[in-house]
Amino acid sequence: MRRYVIVGTGVAAVAAAEAIRQHDPRGVIVLVGMEAEGYYSRPGLAYYLTGEIPENMLFPFRDADFRRLQVQVVHDRVEGLDPARQRVRLARRGWLAYDRLLLATGARAVRPPWPGVDLEGVVYLDNLAHTRHVIRLARKAKEAVVVGGGITALELAEGLQARRVRVHYLLRGDRYWRRVLDPVESRLVEQRLTQMGIRLHHHTQIAEILGHKGRVTGVRTQDGRVLRCQLVGIAVGIRPRVELAREAGIATERGILVSPFMETSVPHVYAAGDVAQVFDPRVGQHVLDSLWPLARMQGTAAGANMAGHRVPYHRGTPLNVTRLAHITTAIMGQVGQRDADPDAGLVRGDSEVWRALPDAILAQKNDEVNLIRLMVGRRTLLGAVVMGDQSLVRGLYTLIDRQVDITPIREQLLTPGAPLGDLLAAFWSEVQAHIHDAAAENGSPPLREASE
Amino acid sequence: MSAWWKALRALFWQQKARMDGVVVPDNSRCVQCGICSYNCPIGIDVRRYAWEGRPIRDDYCVTCGQCVARCPRGVLSFEVLARTLESTP
């Protein structure tokens, strides 16, 4: 009877446990996590902060669900790995033997090296404990300064604003999330933020966090201004938790390196989720993602492989759908901006693929709150951003992911002022009709895939 | 065709989807935040359906649309699915 030990209690860990149980009805499955709260929806923390959900809604699984799966969840800290003897050392319970080990330790928020960053009142939105802390501090705080690009910073800003704290959002550059969004998209988001009452400060960076008697009183910016505040929300990036793996001699780079079967460099040890840097054959490199649905898929693949069911994880084109200043936004494939900083680190809800710079032309159409931006390659669509109405996203995603030949509509798409939505919708129904007809005839999908 | 007529036609099809349709999750977007389940007036665990990628064929679902409207990631939509003998509970 196999023993499966999983380090972590995030979505990758839980998905792995489900997959293992599906293939191995009798094996012993133990999840070991450092968070007392166990498994919860990390993306949901943003909505807990805004007040849209109470804390008790953050838990998708109850104890009964884990019992039904016959999975044991242990609250403890793993101090070290001993792959040679196939065991891990827990802080309180000592040695725990395994036949298969999964490292799903996730990533942690980066703590920037600014003076004053350890003052009481400096907050992150990385986990449930942080979020509770922010909510508690927000009760007394009048003003807050938030820094960071990407999604988490916005979640902090919007959440604090919703809790009636006056928010100053500092942007390093000239516009929001310039690595991924184009100027029009940034402006759309910024307009909404301003309407919500959030004050934006462009070209502004923190030089120092000021304090009195150990508590935050304000920030000094690099251009010498002082902003008074009692809270400083930081979301400047995340770093995978690779320490355990590194100390045990498992191969790592920015994350723990794994094959498409989620195997690390050490036999019987796997990794999945935000900590894993997975080899993507389409790109020819190991790639890091911080996307919840991908973490789940990786966990599922890891679990299946651990239980002896050899199935590769197929990454597919990265897709993130999130809410930016109340606008539902889908980002997929390659959408990178030409002025982007290629060395910039990863943030949550991010993918390294998005910021690769494709040699492509841009087709864009705005219609009030509905926006579509396409990255059009020679014969395929390389990426897209869709804000507002999401009905085209599934079709668009397939066109991008399956590298469908869009030559029939390419010229039309690139015509300025083209009705992108209508063109794509019409093209997509044709493509679907083809699939339907061919499937009816011989059961194989006939999407005209453009081979480069 | 005038804009007014187009809008009316779109509204008709939306209503038709609501009446004939079921709530369908797009698994690839869901982050299990729980806003859907929290807002269901009937108390259906919509989130669980989304995790399992199953349409909400629940006798108690009245297709009120709260979950669809409130999901921050656009996971849920109404779709008209063919009812077969196997699928009726």
Q: Which residues of chain A neighbour B26 with C-beta distances below 8 Å?
A: 394
Record: contact B31-A43, CB cut-off 8 A: yes
Cβ of B31 within 8 Å of Cβ of A394? The answer is no
When scoring A39, A296, A392, A401 by the number of chain B Cβ atoms within 10 A, the one with the most, hence best to mutate, is A296
Domains of chain B in start order, with CATH, are: 25-89 (3.30.70.20)
* Residue-level pLDDT at A175: 92
Give the pair of three-digit tokens for residue B61.
Answer: 């679902």
CB contact under 8 A, A41 and B73: no
Tokens for A414, please give them.
């690139």
Tell me: the pLDDT tens digits for B12-65? 776 666 666 789 999 888 999 999 999 999 999 999 999 999 999 888 899 899
Q: Does A44 touch chain B (CB under 8 A)?
A: yes
pLDDT of amino acid A136: 96
Query: Which amino acid belongs to residue B37?
Result: S
Contact A319 B28 (CB under 8 A): yes
A321 vs B34: CB contact, 8 Å cut-off?
A: no
Tell whether the model's pLDDT for residue B86 goes beyond 50: no
pLDDT given for residue A180 in this prediction: 87
Contact A274, A43 (CB under 8 A): no
Alpha-carbon separation of residue B40 from A57, A338, B35 (angstroms): 13, 44, 9
pLDDT confidence of residue A348: 55
- 10-residue mean pLDDT profile of chain A (452 residues): values are 97 98 97 97 96 97 96 97 97 97 96 96 95 96 94 94 97 90 89 94 96 97 96 95 97 97 98 96 89 95 97 89 90 69 47 43 52 88 88 88 91 82 85 70 50 36
Per-residue model confidence (pLDDT) at position A329: 92
Pick the residue with more confidence: B82 or A69?
Answer: A69
- Which residues of chain B neighbour A385 with C-beta distances below 8 Å? none
Rounded to a whole number, what is the distance in Å from the CA of A321 to chain B's nearest CA?
6
CB spacing of A321 vs B27 below 8 angstroms: no
pTM of the model: 0.86
Q: Do A175 and A183 meet the contact criterion of CB atoms below 8 Å apart? A: yes
Which domains, ranges and CATH numbers included, belong to chain A?
Answer: 3-107+239-306 (3.50.50.60), 122-236 (3.50.50.60), 319-442 (3.30.390.30)
Tokens coding A151: 């999604």
- Among A11, A39, A49, A52, the residue to mutate for chain B (most B Cβ within 10 A): A52
DSSP codes of every residue in A75-119: E--EEEEETTTTEEEETTTEEEE-SEEEE---EEE-----TTTTS
